[in-house]
Chain A
Amino acid sequence: MAAVMRYRTAGYNGYSIEYSPFFENRIACASAANFGIVGNGRLWVLGLGAGPEGIDVEKVYDTQDGLFDCAWSEVHENQIVTSSGDGSIKLWDVTLPDFPVRNWSEHTREVFAVKWNLVKKDTFISGSWDQTIKLWNPEVPQSLTTWQEHTHCIYQTAWSPTSGDIFASASGDHTLKVWDVRQPRSVQTVRAHNAEILALDWNKYHPNTLVTGSVDHSVKVWDLRFPDREAMVLLGHDYAVRRVKCSPHSGNIIASASYDMTMRIWDTAMGGNRLAHVHDQHTEFVLGVDMSMFFEGQVATCAWDEQINVIQIPGLSMKH
């Protein structure tokens, strides 16, 4: 296995890490000073395969408040959107220095989730602690739609990989909701955990399958056709699960990041506990994880230890 590539986000605690959908060696990290309690935020644009430890900085952008999530544009190779603790959403052009090219200030509380539409690539959604979800077009100065139905903070959202109108949201109200952008109300509500749900992603190969991660330490796999009970529970994390990602290469591979300072790779086609790999080199909460679309098995993590790690997971199976 190749050595771990590393980068230190000095002074900033990592919240979210995302691979560029255009450039295989580019990643971005949304981070916050002082653990996001108070102080500035910073967006890092980083190049893989460069620098003394395998990752080098290409651009940094500073913000007044902590940054909690980021999403690369699916249509513009130079643009990326960030969400902030002050409720703002900013669009950045990484060819320009210092300031964003757009700023939206509709959310009234922390925005923990921003996700670009994977199919209708001219829109993105945001999910906030103000309990609303908003749909945006980067060319439009106001949100296109606002949905309010969750009764607690929204921690994560995820687009369907196959339908540009369908997305899902996960909330502190213990529910997972599925939405159609053409409908004013959610189309499905799943009481997914008996605790706050912090993490959510949509399986890229099974259109009815979603994955949630919760304060209850568990990762659950859901088949929306049978919402009364989870299809699978993945147990092993010792503390809250903060982020989950479904592999872009395989319908049975899931990555999860946790307050237990580990990132785990699960293979739902395996027997036993289905745990395929544990990355335990972080020394604080792991909040961000993403899987490369271009190099199967390459995984990037960011954590409160101000460290970004990029690793190659050996021997991942490829059952689709």
Chain B
Amino acid sequence: MSATQSHTSSSPDAIFREFTAYNWDKDQRFQQGLQSILTKSYDDSAKKEEAIEKAKCFYYSKFFRPINYLQYLKWKTDQSSASPSPDMSNDIMPTVASQSSTGEKEEKNDILPQPSEQKVSEPQYPRSFQELCEMVARGEEVPGIRTIPNKINEAPPSESHLAPRRKPWETKPEGAEGASAVQTAD
């Protein structure tokens, strides 16, 4: 099956495109493995994203075609910074073993793509908030939700024994209405 199919005919660009287009959500085998990754705790969402990407590369390499994580990252960075060009990564062959042919390519390998699409006026939501939104959007089950019976207490409610306490403003004499304008101190 696909694990044995030849990949010599595809360009690296095509392979990376195929890799990114792969329907991960529908692959139950991958999703099962992903659960163990998602349940681990990470310092931040970038670390978690990195773990997921690495897992995808490993999985894809094992079952479909070899994908080198670092070269994939470089390809992704190039994709987001430049207009797509079919020739741009001709010299990079995606392989399991790292075989970067030129030193100049190395420098970008450490840089995780961090698109700064966040609008300045938008508050920065907590990272796990965004992860949750993405999980919900992908239709994934969020762990830890309990079923609470929708029932009414069978015991009778308690009797009230206390009279309502007077509010601080209720001690004020009547007739404050006339002086109700907001003080404009300027």
Q: Footprint of B on A, CB under 8 Å? A: 21-22, 33-35, 37-40, 62-64, 74-79, 93, 95-96, 98-103, 118, 121, 161, 204-209, 221, 223, 225, 231-232, 239-240, 248-249, 252, 259-260, 268-271, 274, 284-285, 293, 296, 304, 319-320
Query: Of residues 172 to 186 in B, which have CB atoms within 8 Å of A's CB atoms?
Result: 172, 176-177, 179-186
Indicate which residue in B154, B155, B161, B167 contacts A77 across the interface (CB closer than 8 Å): B161
Q: In the assembly, what is the distance between CA of A319 and CA of B128, in Å?
A: 44
- B158 engages A93 (CB within 8 Å): yes
Closest B residue to A98 by beta carbon equals: B153
Q: In residues 95-131 of chain B, which contact A (Cβ within 8 Å)?
A: 123, 126, 128-129
Q: When A and B form their complex, what is the total count of cross-chain residue pairs whose Cβ atoms lie within 8 Å?
A: 132
Bound-state CA distance A102–B157 (Å) is 10
Cβ–Cβ contact B167 & A206, under 8 A: no
B157 touches A248 (CB 8 A): no
CB–CB B181/A206 < 8 A:
yes
A294 CB, nearest partner CB in chain B, Å: 8
Q: Is B133 an interface residue (CB 8 A)?
A: yes
- Given the complex, which residues of B lie within 8 Å of A37, measured CB to CB? 129, 132-133, 136
Ordered by A's residue number, 12 sampled pairs between the chains whose C-beta atoms are within 8 Å are A37-B129, A37-B136, A64-B148, A76-B158, A93-B158, A98-B153, A102-B152, A204-B167, A225-B181, A259-B123, A304-B126, A319-B183
B133 and A269 contact, CB distance less than 8 A: no
* Residue B1 CB within 8 A of the other chain: no
Do B157 and A206 have beta carbons less than 8 Å apart?
Answer: no
A269 to B179, alpha carbons, bound, how many Å?
Answer: 14
A284 near B126 with CB under 8 A, answer: yes
| Chain A residues, Cβ within 8 Å of B183 | 252, 268-269, 319
Q: Is the CB of A34 within 8 A of B181?
A: no
Alpha-carbon separation in the docked complex, A248 to B172 (Å): 12
Contact residues in A for B149 (Cβ distance below 8 Å): 99
Residues of B within 8 A of A78 (CB): 157-158, 160
Give the nearest-CB partner of A248 in chain B.
B168
Contact of A293 with B129 in the complex, beta carbons under 8 Å? no
Neighbouring A residues of B82 by C-beta, 8 Å: none
Within 8 Å by CB of A268, from B132, B172, B182, lies: B182
Closest chain-A Cβ to B167's Cβ sits at a distance in Å of: 6
A96's partner among B129, B147, B153, B169 (CB-CB below 8 A) is B153
| Smallest CB separation, A156 vs chain B (Å) | 19
Residues from chain B with a CB closer than 8 A to the CB of A40 are 145-146, 148
Check: B29 CB closer than 8 A to any chain A CB.
Answer: no
Q: Is the CB of A232 within 8 A of B184?
A: yes
Q: Do A101 and B153 contact each other (CB < 8 Å), given the known contacts A33-B144, A64-B147? A: yes
Asked whether A64 and B165 contact (CB < 8 A) given A209-B180, A269-B185, the answer is: no
B21 at the interface (CB under 8 A from A): no
A62 to B150, CA, bound (A): 11
Contacts of B167 in A (CB 8 A): 21, 118, 161, 204, 248, 293
Q: Which residues of B contact A239 (CB under 8 A)?
A: 123
Q: Which residue of A lies closest to B151 (CB)?
A: A99
Contacts of A21 in B (CB 8 A): 164-165, 167
